[in-house]
Amino acid sequence: MIIILKKDVTQQEIDHIEGKIASLGLKVHVSKGTERTVLGVIGDEAVIRNQPLTVLPGVEQVMPVLKPYKLASREFRSDDTVIDLDGVRIGNQKIVVMAGPCSVESEEALLKIASAVARSGATCLRGGAFKPRTSPYSFQGLGEEGLKHLDKARKETGLKIVTELMDPRDAELVFEYADIIQIGARNMQNFRLLTEVGKYRKPILLKRGLSSTITELLMSAEYIMSQGNYQVILCERGIRTFETYTRNTMDLSAVPVIKNLSHLPVICDPSHAVGRWELVKPMAKAAVAAGTDGLLIEVHHDPENALSDGVQSLLPSKFSQLMEELKPIAQAVGRKI
């Protein structure tokens, strides 16, 4: 249920409405838009329906949210959510590019890659300190040592850090170092992990599961938002289909579909979607044309010897070229890189 407040509602009236809702054992979430303030009420629908909320001072309209995801829906918030990281705005006119290696392998290698992507125009550095791998014998990441390397790269380049959290037990450690916490595709429906990151107040990059529907992705975002963290970035990274030529099938239609259903920013990860470096560039361009708010691209200075996902990583020179080629496409759709 959402409560649409009058334009001239006072803070005292808002506090009174929130208090009334809380007294009923319901949760209230506040969304302040450019023209209206909306209260999202979560809880037993029977309790909500039986309350004459329209008589409360400051209330203009009470209406149900028909979709199963409430806080992530356009009904709850009509304005696009823009996440601001000290000037790096995700969901704004500028398309944010997050680039770097799949895994943090060493301090020297990371600093080399970070410097290269920063020169080319990336604003965030991606790199995994904890890596979920299909095989238990594959490189699993450097852990806290990798986080320290990321921190040093941030200090030297000014790039914001995006890194993955896999286990609730590592939450405090990862949140200490990261600017954006990534929840990987394999953990999209790890509800305990989603609930845990919802308690923190840092942006969460939520990747779509390998075989998940858009509704399931939005419901996972709802888990995070229901804990009070509304800073969720959704990521299309390809889904499993019958096609085997590429690593996954990049569902570009998900970008405009999600933007129609939700106010949350949407980014694309063409590297994991296709799994082949020569296909990353055309799919990144297509994502910009489709309306993505950002790109997540793997870059490595020595893909041949990368410890993970070298086959889909761009050389720094190829990444720089891509950044230049994206500019006219972004301009054509009213955006900029």
How does pLDDT run across 293-315, given as a tens digit for each residue? 999 999 999 999 888 888 999 99
The pLDDT of residue 261 is above 70: yes
How many domains does the chain divide into?
Answer: 2
Q: Is residue 258 situated within a structural domain?
A: yes
Q: What percent of the chain clears pLDDT 90, i.e. is strictly above it? A: 71
The average pLDDT across 308-336 equals: 96
- Average pLDDT of the chain is 92
**CATH assignment of the domain containing 46:** 3.30.70.1140
| Residues in CB range of 142: below 8 A, 6 or more apart | 103, 104, 105, 129, 149
Same-domain check for residues 105 and 237? yes
Q: Is residue 77 situated within a structural domain?
A: no
Task: Tell me the chain's radius of gyration from C-alpha atoms.
Answer: 21
How does pLDDT run across 218-227, given as a tens digit for each residue? 999 999 999 9
The average pLDDT across 265-289 equals: 97
pLDDT at 266: 98
The average pLDDT across 195-208 equals: 96
The pLDDT of residue 131 is above 70: no
Same-domain check for residues 55 and 87? no
How does pLDDT run across 29-65, given as a tens digit for each residue? 888 877 778 888 887 777 777 778 888 899 988 887 7
What is the CB-side half-sphere exposure of residue 142 using CA atoms within 13 A? 18
Where residue 20 falls among pLDDT bands split at 50, 70, 90? confident
How far is 259 from 265, CA to CA, in rounded Å? 8
Q: Is residue 148 situated within a structural domain?
A: yes
Where residue 26 falls among pLDDT bands split at 50, 70, 90? confident
Same-domain check for residues 195 and 300? yes
Same-domain check for residues 42 and 139? no
Domain extent, residue 285, equals: 83-332
Phi first, then psi: what are they for 223, rounded to 5°? -60, -45
The average pLDDT across 227-249 equals: 95
**CATH assignment of the domain containing 271:** 3.20.20.70
pTM over 0.75: yes
The average pLDDT across 252-277 equals: 97
DSSP secondary structure string for all residues of 9-48: --HHHHHHHHHHHHHTT-EEEEEE-SS-EEEEEES-HHHH
The average pLDDT across 130-138 equals: 66
How far is 194 from 224, CA to CA, in rounded Å? 5
Q: Is residue 26 situated within a structural domain?
A: yes
The average pLDDT across 242-268 equals: 96
